[in-house]
């Protein structure tokens, strides 16, 4: 249906139709760039995790990252507590 509004019984002036096409194209490009940024960030996140992360889903990568960050926070809290008691 893109750009062919007559099938829907609609008729737009050529200028408006080209404006709609331009907005659609711009939106598609922006959306692809957004998805690309998300995918790159998830790939980088997966590379920072211990163990094998190749071939796992994006959702599992994010869940593993959350678990790993919680583990690191616990280790940091433990180390701080140990340092505090040794003073």
Is 5:12 a contact under the CB 8 Å cutoff?
yes
For 5-21, what is each residue's pLDDT tens digit? 556 666 666 666 677 78
Domain boundaries, the chain: 5-86
Structure tokens at 50: 């211990």
pTM: 0.67
Q: In terms of pLDDT, which residue wins out, 22 or 62?
A: 62
What's the CATH number of domain 5-86, 4.10.280.10, 3.40.640.10, 3.40.50.150, 3.30.70.100?
Answer: 4.10.280.10
pLDDT tens digits along 29-55: 999 999 999 999 999 999 999 998 888
**DSSP H or E stretch at residue 47:** helix 14-48
How high is the pLDDT of residue 4?
Answer: 55
């Amino acid at each position: 249906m893109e750009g062919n509004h007559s099938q829907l019984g609609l008729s737009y002036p050529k200028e408006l139709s080209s404006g709609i096409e331009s907005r659609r194209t711009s939106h598609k490009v922006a959306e692809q760039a957004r998805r690309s940024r998300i995918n790159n960030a998830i790939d980088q996140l997966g590379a920072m995790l211990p163990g094998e992360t190749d071939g796992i889903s994006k959702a599992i990568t994010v869940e593993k990252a959350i678990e790993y960050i919680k583990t690191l926070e616990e280790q940091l809290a433990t180390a701080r507590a140990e340092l505090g008691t040794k003073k």
